[in-house]
Amino acid sequence: MSRPQKHAWFNLAVIALTLAVVLLTYPILGRGAFGGLGFLGLLGFGQFFYRKKHGEVVTDERDNLIQQRSMLAAYSVFWLVFVAAGTLTPLYYGYNGAVPAILVADSVWAALMLHVVTHSLVTLVQYGSSSDVEAKP
């Protein structure tokens, strides 16, 4: 399994952990459960998958191309959802209504999770679809 694949699986695990903590503690803590979003900070540890060891290639051109395509897909999905949310929000709250501040604050975290999940899934799909060349550990 290549390093970007390990990184993608790690990101998906962190997102799953974060969602589990928030959803399981919400009935007990209410809005305080959103403090569980702090587990998203673990995403920063994903860069340790790319530590270079002596005489070893970390990523190659194929890995870079897959990461570029994954980033493009993640940004495309993000912007589609962002525009849809922005245009559909007045339908729910009305054109003269006020959007709750908690919704605005939590939408930032939801957007981050959407971006990371999309990037990770597209990365894994691309590696899975081109399995004719086995990645070396």
- Domain ranges in the chain are 3-129
Is-contact 4 46, C-beta < 8 A?
Answer: no
Lowest mean pLDDT of 62-66, 81-85, 127-131, name the range.
127-131
Q: Is the pLDDT of residue 68 over 90?
A: yes
pLDDT of residue 132: 47
Q: What is the mean pLDDT of residues 60-70?
A: 89
Residue 75: is its pLDDT beyond 90?
A: yes
CB of 36 closer than 8 Å to CB of 21: yes
Mean predicted lDDT score pLDDT of the chain: 87
Q: What is the pLDDT of residue 38?
A: 92
Average pLDDT over residues 30-54: 87
Residues 6+ apart with CB under 8 A from 98: none
Amino acid at 34: F
Position with higher pLDDT, 105 vs 18 = 18
Per 3-state DSSP, the chain is made up of helix, strand and coil in percentages (nearest 5) of: 80, 0, 20
If pLDDT is split at 50, 70 and 90, which confidence band does 129 have? low
Residue 116: what pLDDT?
95
